[in-house]
Amino acid sequence: MLKHLYRSVAVFIVAWLGLTPTLPPARADSWRVTVHGGDTGLGETPLVAQLKVQLPVGSYLLEPATGGDAFPAQVFDDGGTRLLGTVLPRIAASDNITFTIKSPPPGDTATASGLSFEPQRRNLKVMLGQQLLTEYRVDAGNKPFFYPLVGPSGESYTRIYPLSILPDEDHDHPHQRSCWFTYGNVNGLDFWSEGNRFGTIRETARKLVVAGPVVGRLQTTNEWRSTDDQRICSDERTVTFYRTKTSRVLDFAFRILATDGPVTFRDTKEGMFGVRVASSMDVTRKAGGKITNAEGWTDENAWGKASSWVDYVGPVKGKTVGIAIINHPDSFRFPTTWHVRTYGLFAANPFGWHDFGRSEKGDYTIKSGQTVEFFYRLVLHEGDTKSANVLALFAAYAKPPTIEVQKD
């Protein structure tokens, strides 16, 4: 659906679907995969690539032609497009790396577990193996959100308030619910705040595209509605979850549609794709919290700056961890400006220019019937910004290797 995910456009109209089962083993056949370009020695590289051949849908193993351990991949359809998803392991830099595609043998552990969805009454749990990765929630507040965001340490890296009251957490800004997408001034209406006086984002459809050994994908449609329940605009969201070892990676793609006339996003700092980090990570607590962006600005100096990524690091349960949000070059107004605060708020906001100190205003109008798109990768990592190599994480997201699949 969204061009940087698989370089095609397909507007989806979806109804509620049940859980997509884990992909079955694919038919054994003679295929090879060639990875072109990039330095995959950067480390794990999550990847979803469009296929030009109709490789059968299912689970696979990719075995390096030069020898070494095989790793899982999966082929699936999304909106009529055939895709291959995998997580490239750490491999020595090369212009071309070739793999043989194999069907997994019975009892293969590499493809036995991965991403799965567990529908709740209204919400949706996202599982990585037997562990919770996050839960998509529509049962509280004025907008959909994700809570918790569980990192590789096994702990949530985001604040639980206002869902629960813990004595060691901050209890301010109850509208900052873990991880969300919204904005504070849309045609004059505030969708950032919460309560009866503010706009509401309401989910209208949900589709579980795929679940399997490497990739899980969720798509939703949503309506932005006024206090008198009039639709202002709509959006389509695609969230892709990956089975990784050294970190946790979630890709977010948002498309806003001017379905009901022109839509103006007016300049305000209150937006847009946001996270409220665990209170123990707050810079203001002076317990090891630190904000760093791609240009090297830190803490309060990173606020309002344009940057391709920002990393918020701090302690959680005695371990140094971080949340990096990476902006893709195909995203609207890349590199985005950031509403990132030392008290724990962390949000990419491409419209708040005047509030951020620029001479020009950041207002933007989507013409009736047109769209605008935003792309972000969220990485939950252990260690600080340098040890997590966030600069390399940006490179892997912004210009990943390309994949060619051929039949021998």
* Nearest of 271, 290, 254, 289 to residue 356 by alpha carbon: 271
Whether residue 18 is predicted with pLDDT greater than 80 in this model: the reply is no
**What is the reported pTM?**
0.93
Q: Quote the Cα angle for 343-346-348, to 5°.
A: 150
What is the mean predicted confidence (pLDDT) over 17-29? 50
Whether residue 199 is predicted with pLDDT greater than 70 in this model: the reply is yes
Residue 15 within any structural domain of the chain: no
Question: Residue for token digits 């498309």?
Answer: 255
What rounded mean pLDDT belongs to the chain? Answer: 91
d(CA 192, CA 67): 52
Q: How far does Cα 160 stand from its chain's mean position?
A: 19
| 286 and 352, same domain (yes or no) | yes
- pLDDT value at residue 12: 29
Residue 18 within any structural domain of the chain: no
| 40 and 171, same domain (yes or no) | no
Proportion of the chain above pLDDT 90, given as a percent: 79
d(CA 119, CA 19): 7
Do β-strands 364-366 and 263-265 pair in parallel, antiparallel, or remain unpaired?
Answer: antiparallel
Supply the CATH number for residue 237's domain: 2.70.98
| 142 and 63, same domain (yes or no) | no
d(CA 129, CA 187): 43
- Helix, strand, or coil (residue 398): helix
Supply the CATH number for residue 86's domain: 2.60.40
| 47 and 173, same domain (yes or no) | no
| DSSP summary character for residue 300 | G
Confidence of residue 15 (pLDDT cuts 50, 70, 90): very low
- Per-residue pLDDT tens digits for 145-155: 999 999 999 99
- pLDDT value at residue 6: 44
- pLDDT value at residue 241: 98
Residue 14 within any structural domain of the chain: no
| 90 and 131, same domain (yes or no) | no
d(CA 201, CA 142): 6
Number of domains in the chain: 2
- Per-residue pLDDT tens digits for 334-367: 999 999 999 999 999 999 999 999 999 999 999 9
- Whole domain around residue 123: which residue ranges? 115-398
- pLDDT value at residue 112: 81
Q: Who has greater pLDDT, 156 or 52?
A: 156
- pLDDT value at residue 338: 98
Of the listed ranges 51-65, 130-144, 337-351, the least confidently predicted one is 51-65
| 63 and 127, same domain (yes or no) | no
- Per-residue pLDDT tens digits for 67-106: 888 999 999 999 999 999 999 987 766 678 899 999 898 8
Residue 376 within any structural domain of the chain: yes
Residue 121's Cβ-side half-sphere holds a number of Cα atoms within 13 Å equal to 2
**Which H or E run contains 402?**
strand 402-407
| 273 and 365, same domain (yes or no) | yes
Confidence of residue 117 (pLDDT cuts 50, 70, 90): very high
* Residue 74: count of CB within 10 angstroms of its CB: 27
| 105 and 175, same domain (yes or no) | no
| 289 and 322, same domain (yes or no) | yes
User: Tokens in use for 333?
Assistant: 């107004």
| 73 and 124, same domain (yes or no) | no
- pLDDT value at residue 14: 31
Residue 231 within any structural domain of the chain: yes
d(CA 113, CA 213): 5
| 173 and 322, same domain (yes or no) | yes
| 138 and 44, same domain (yes or no) | no
Whether residue 297 is predicted with pLDDT greater than 50 in this model: the reply is yes
d(CA 272, CA 212): 30
